[in-house]
Amino acid sequence: MSSKNDHMLPLGLLLQRESTNEKIDKPEILHGQASQIKKGEDFTMFKTECQRIPGDGTTTFSVFGLFDGHNGSAAAIYSKENLLNNVLSAIPSDISREEWLAALPRAMVAGFIKTDKDFQEQAISSGTTVTFVIIDRWVITVASVGDSCCILESAEGTIYSLSADHRLEENEEERDRITASGGEVGRLNMVGGAEIGPLRVWPGGLCLSRSIGDRDVGEFIVPIPYVKQVKLSSGGGRLIISSDGVWDALTPEMATSCCRGLPPDCAADQIVKEAIQPKGIRDDTTCMVIDILPLDKVTPPNPPPKKQGKGVFKSMFRKRGTESSTSCDKDFELDVVEEIFEEGSAVLAERFDTQYPLCNLFKLFMCAVCQVEMKPGEGISVHAGSSLPGKLRPWDGPFLCPSCQAKKEAMEGKKALGDGAARHSSASE
Ligand SMILES: [Zn+2]
């Protein structure tokens, strides 16, 4: 369709086209939530009108969070109040939208660690799972620690997992990491030697391998989140974030199908009802439902047509860059969820890779975790002590301040535990 005269279009028309596209390209985001409370340790947050560039309404993004606390609600409340700021302050200013999106996964890692570190300084023994979602137009970025999982159902009805399950019972890699860091993994010992319940880490008896807080359990219960970033097709999709009370009772297929066609608030209600119905309320059970809809489709979607592959819990995505994806192909790529980023390593040096596309934009003498300014020579490379021979040099950034370096070493099990008395009798959920 290109003609020789394309470059002759007046600027005003081009700008008009751009702003029209902007409107079309931005989805409507509707959300609802429901919960049944037993202990009062579940907390949620949402902010639908955040602005990447303050004052610029075209740069809005939405934030959703679910915090399922244990041993009290202090860690959940603290994370709800501070995590977003800690994530956003780890993103350099004056960058484009594309760079901002590329910076998000690393900023989420920094923000989770800073929130955990600051909370632990308050010397409160509580902990929390965190599932934290940022939606910028069609791009969804999810960072999670713990077992409050997040799933996505695309417009065509395919279900994707956007979070990891950090329950020790389900995650052998994490069990190995904790054992290697000096933790003990086992079941609850009853009098007489019988072992019951899920695998837990001792001391403390926590069932999770990652969380924010939990200073008494050990630093190897790290706050480093699994992060996944995907791009929806312009057909949109539905996100479901729930605490473990839902996922213990419902499969992702059950959760999506029991509320299909309902608006988000009714959908969340329905999911919680379905989860509780068989056994009653055993734990706090919270669900958030977020619909990401094309503007011409703001009424809730009808049941999507059944397609091949529906009902299969997919973890496969089309990788970005594997195929040509010029704008001409757009019409043929409807209903394809594109995976942009996925990383779950608990090793900080791997999450703050030197290959990071924006490394040069970060100020050299600023701690990559807490953003404190450092004097030249004061920072310690995140790669210091790395065992990767020849690949990385200790003078390569990014750099950590001495306090965040100590936190890094503690998370890697290089610090002796403080009060390491085994407390097999006081298991926490
Ligand atoms: Zn620092």
Per-residue pLDDT of the chain (429 residues; tens, 9 = 90+): 444 444 455 555 555 555 555 454 789 999 999 999 889 999 999 999 999 999 998 999 999 999 999 999 999 999 999 999 999 999 988 889 999 999 999 999 999 999 999 999 998 899 999 999 999 999 999 999 999 999 999 998 999 999 999 999 999 999 999 999 989 999 998 888 888 899 999 888 999 999 999 998 989 999 999 999 999 998 999 999 999 999 999 999 999 999 999 999 999 999 999 999 988 888 899 999 999 999 876 555 555 544 444 444 544 444 444 444 444 444 444 568 999 999 999 999 899 875 655 545 555 678 999 999 888 788 888 888 766 555 555 557 788 999 999 999 999 988 644 443 333 334 444
| pLDDT for the residue numbered 12 | 57
Residue 375: partners with Cβ closer than 8 Å, 6 or more residues away: 365
Domains of the chain: 29-166+208-346 (3.60.40.10), 352-418 (no CATH)
Residue 407: partners with Cβ closer than 8 Å, 6 or more residues away: 113, 117, 219, 369
Of residues 224, 225, 226, 218, the one with CA closest to residue 410:
218
| Cα-to-centroid distance, 61 and ligand 1 (Å) | 27
| Cα-to-centroid distance, 360 and ligand 1 (Å) | 18
| Cα-to-centroid distance, 338 and ligand 1 (Å) | 34
Partner residues linked to 285 by β-bridges? 36
| Cα-to-centroid distance, 388 and ligand 1 (Å) | 23
| Cα-to-centroid distance, 46 and ligand 1 (Å) | 27
| Cα-to-centroid distance, 363 and ligand 1 (Å) | 13
| Cα-to-centroid distance, 387 and ligand 1 (Å) | 22
Q: From CA 294, how far away is CA 24, in angstroms rounded?
A: 8
> Could you write out the DSSP letters of every residue in 249-283?
T--HHHHHHHTTTS-HHHHHHHHHHHHHTTT---S
| Cα-to-centroid distance, 373 and ligand 1 (Å) | 9
Q: From CA 379, how far away is CA 85, in angstroms rounded?
A: 23
| pLDDT for the residue numbered 353 | 73
Q: What is the DSSP letter of 167?
A: B
| Cα-to-centroid distance, 403 and ligand 1 (Å) | 6
| Cα-to-centroid distance, 220 and ligand 1 (Å) | 18
| Cα-to-centroid distance, 25 and ligand 1 (Å) | 38
- Kindly give the residue spans of alpha helices, DSSP state H, lying in 141-288: 172-180, 244-247, 252-258, 264-276
How many other CB atoms are there within 10 angstroms of residue 264's CB atom? 23
| pLDDT for the residue numbered 297 | 66
Q: What share of the chain is helix, strand, coil (3-state, %, to 5)?
A: 30, 25, 45
Q: From CA 289, how far away is CA 319, in angstroms rounded?
A: 26
| Cα-to-centroid distance, 372 and ligand 1 (Å) | 6
Report how many helices (DSSP H) and strands (DSSP E) the chain contains, helices first: 9, 18
| Cα-to-centroid distance, 404 and ligand 1 (Å) | 4
Q: From CA 288, how far away is CA 31, in angstroms rounded?
A: 7
Contact 338, 318 (CB under 8 A): yes
Q: From CA 281, how far away is CA 51, in angstroms rounded?
A: 38
| Cα-to-centroid distance, 348 and ligand 1 (Å) | 13
Q: From CA 130, how far away is CA 376, in angstroms rounded?
A: 35
| pLDDT for the residue numbered 11 | 58
Contact 381, 118 (CB under 8 A): no
| Cα-to-centroid distance, 239 and ligand 1 (Å) | 33
Q: Which position has the token pair 């890697």?
A: 412
| Cα-to-centroid distance, 227 and ligand 1 (Å) | 21
Contact 70, 76 (CB under 8 A): no
Q: From CA 362, how far away is CA 369, in angstroms rounded?
A: 12
| pLDDT for the residue numbered 233 | 92
